[in-house]
Amino acid sequence: MNNIIIKNARLFDSGRLVNIKVLNGIIAKISENYIFDKNCGELNAQANFISPGFIDLHVHLRDPGLTYKEDISSGTLAALKGGVTTVCAMPNTKPVIDNQNIIKYILNTPANCRVLPVAAITKSQEGKELTDFQELKKAGAIALSDDGKTVENINLMRETLVKSRENDILIISHCEPEDEITRRDVSLALETDTRIHIAHVSTKNACKYISDAKKLGAKVTAETCPHYFTLTDEAVLKSGADAKMNPPLRSPEDCAAIINAIKSGVIDCISTDHAPHSPKDKKGGANGITGLETSFALGVTYLVRQNHITLEKLIDLMSKSPAEIIGIDNQIGTIEPGKVADFAIFNIDEKFIYDKNNSSSKSRNTPFHGFELYGKILYTVFGGRIV
């Protein structure tokens, strides 16, 4: 039902207990007073926190072509389990998301939450010839990235940024080797006066280059992932292949730098780089971990409960800020009348053990199995429906 009244919900930012009326999937009214409408269903939040649904700018759904690892249905179900109501689907599928037909396929495939395609910067992600930015944006691409690969040719990357500015579409840069390419790409963004988003930041030096570029006026935003503020390279000794990803886990010094960059605003948002793999692929050396179901709880456990940031800041990193980065903040990312009714309802004090065997993802490659976490998602509401 898209008409619902959520009763006794505690706003994440103010702590106020409110009732939220949703009509046709849109927030119609927020009130501290009792609301009744016989045409609406009801959900009693029982004084638990409510926030906007989370927005993940960096997700691998493996669809089309690699659906034995994940598909749009299973990946978006895993998202909902983690309170995530919007995912940006990365282009390194088979075939690569580099034309209108594949974007149409993704947008027309039934999903459990909102899926926004990220198309490739270069044809087949080969780093040689640029895709048709205008065509891809018109078809529904929310951003462009050669995710998993760097556009190595500096002149082609400069052309990429200029063309992205002309077409008003965001470039998401995968920086490998991280420090060197981060420095190059933020410099190019400054030179061309163009927006750029730096994916999965993991090192102290990358944080410094992004910070310096921002101070100079560069239109740079950046994300990190929960594994970079919760784990160090020592986790590989315990979890083996399930703790191997790209960029790899770093030193305790880098981990501390990531936390400081989150606190200071150098890091703008938290994404997961959700990268499901089969056991066979993992044994074969595939990099990446799943993350949609654990990202919020890891943020609560390792950032909020450690007093690095407030709950309000964490929610902004996972909803408001990513919505602003991809330019959809007029629709989602905050709780206010007129916005789409995407919500996460959660308890930050309830402790739980994460069990990968209960995952909705097709894959189980996570280093967080058995972790004691806080920040349990009780309900996810997508477009006014309890999902």
DSSP, res 243: G
Residue 286 has pLDDT above 80, yes or no: yes
Give the orientation angle of helix 204-215 with respect to helix 178-192, to 10 degrees.
10
Structural domains of the chain, with CATH: 4-50+338-348+371-386 (2.30.40.10), 53-325 (3.20.20.140)
Residue 198 near residue 222 (C-beta atoms within 8 A): yes
* Residues catalogued as catalytic: 273
pLDDT in tens, 287-314: 999 999 999 999 999 999 999 999 999 9
CA 179 to CA 182: how far, in whole Å?
A: 5
CA 160 to CA 178: how far, in whole Å?
A: 19
pLDDT in tens, 238-268: 999 999 999 999 999 999 999 999 999 999 9
Q: Give phi and psi for 144, each to the nearest 5.
A: -130, 140
Measured over the CA atoms of residue 186, residue 188, residue 192 and residue 197, the dihedral's sign is negative
- Give the residue ranges of DSSP H helices in the chain: 72-81, 100-108, 133-139, 154-167, 178-192, 204-215, 226-230, 235-239, 252-264, 279-283, 295-299, 311-315, 321-325
* pTM exceeds 0.85 for this model: yes
The vertex-323 CA angle with 57 and 42, nearest 5°, equals 105
Residue 386 has pLDDT above 80, yes or no: yes
pLDDT (average), residues 141-153: 95
pLDDT in tens, 5-23: 999 999 999 999 999 999 9
Residue 55 near residue 318 (C-beta atoms within 8 A): yes
The burial class, CB within 10 Å (0-12 / 13-18 / 19+), for 16 is exposed
Give residue 176's pLDDT. 87
3-state secondary structure of 199: coil
Give residue 114's pLDDT. 98
pLDDT level of residue 1 (50, 70, 90 thresholds): low
pLDDT in tens, 149-181: 999 999 999 999 999 999 999 999 999 899 999
Average of per-residue pLDDT values in the chain: 97
Structure tokens at 129: 């010839």
The DSSP bridge pattern shows strands 372-382 and 343-353 to be antiparallel
Q: What is the dihedral of CA 209, 89, 116, 95, to 10 degrees?
A: 120
- The 3-state DSSP composition of the chain as helix, strand, coil percent (nearest 5) reads 35, 25, 45
By percentage, how much of the chain surpasses pLDDT 70? Answer: 100
